[in-house]
Amino acid sequence: MSSTTRRSILKMAGASAAALSIGTRALHASQMPGRPSAEATESRVNKSSNVMAIAAHPGDAFFAMGAPVAMAAQSGAKGFLLSLTLGEKGSLTIPPAQYGVFQREAAEKAASVMNAEALFFEYPDGELPANEEAKFTVCDLIRQYKPSTVVTHWKGSWHKDHRACYDIVQDAVFYAGLASIIRKLPAHEVKEILFSDNWEDAEGFVSDTYLDITPVCDRWLQACSAFPMWRGENGFRYNDYYASRAVTCGCVSNFKQAVAFMSPADQRVRHIRSL
Ligand SMILES: [Zn+2]
């Protein structure tokens, strides 16, 4: 780290909190993604928008996408966590039918801690179909709940359900916003899609946006603890990973705790009249 960067961090440390740090929108072309700078920080504190997480499994919705939903709820907007499957085949010891019930109960409990709403479809875990029926089902839900921002999986995942969810969401958002596609409810345009920082979706994931989650971090971690798998029962220490990830993302974005996102390529395009 250069002394210039250290100085800029110290300078910013005394400033009031800003909510979002967007690396690729920084003014300096030489700036590395995520490197803190005053120019790269944009405040959206007063621009709360409804946020919907759309995940393959409840664990992804809450662990990898839950913090921005909690931030939306904290700011007075609405937060939704949609799981396309119950992740019912995720236990090493509990039969799927029973584990699916546990997963649903944990998700509802966690959502209530975050003042958000848990939503479910029950596509079979491990067999999530990226077909037109699923895409229109998600389209209808987007038209019903009207999120401004959708947080979902990045496609660079080893898990087939995560890749399927990515495909479903891309087309569902497209269908939801197209007025000429006639469904029960009128069209709704999602303003922004953000891909979540998920340990299972790391292939080609490059963070370009950091959200300050300091105000809700404790509550979000408490919500996640409703899931037994959070503590590592299924072999991965989600609690240690995501709690420490929030700290390291905070370090590189000059927030106390943060989560990182990757934006779709078209959202990274800027239209400017001067530099
Ligand atoms: Zn998953």
State both tokens at 116: 């958000």
Under 8 Å CB-to-CB from 88, ≥6 apart: which residues?
Answer: 96, 97, 99, 100, 103, 125
| Confidence tier at 21 by pLDDT (50, 70, 90) | low
pTM assigned to the model: 0.87
Question: How far is the centre of ligand 1, averaged over its atoms, from the C-alpha of 55 (Å)?
Answer: 7
Alpha-carbon radius of gyration of the chain: 19
DSSP label at residue 215: G
- pLDDT tens digits, one per residue of 24-60: 443 333 344 444 554 456 655 446 689 999 999 999 9
Q: Which whole number is the average pLDDT over 239-259?
A: 98
- pLDDT tens digits, one per residue of 182-196: 999 999 999 999 999
- Going from N- to C-terminal start, the domains of the chain cover 47-262
Query: What class is the 47-262 domain?
Result: alpha beta
Residues with CB under 5 A from ligand 1 (ion): 56-57, 60
Question: How far is the centre of ligand 1, averaged over its atoms, from the C-alpha of 165 (Å)?
Answer: 10
Question: How far is the centre of ligand 1, averaged over its atoms, from the C-alpha of 74 (Å)?
Answer: 25
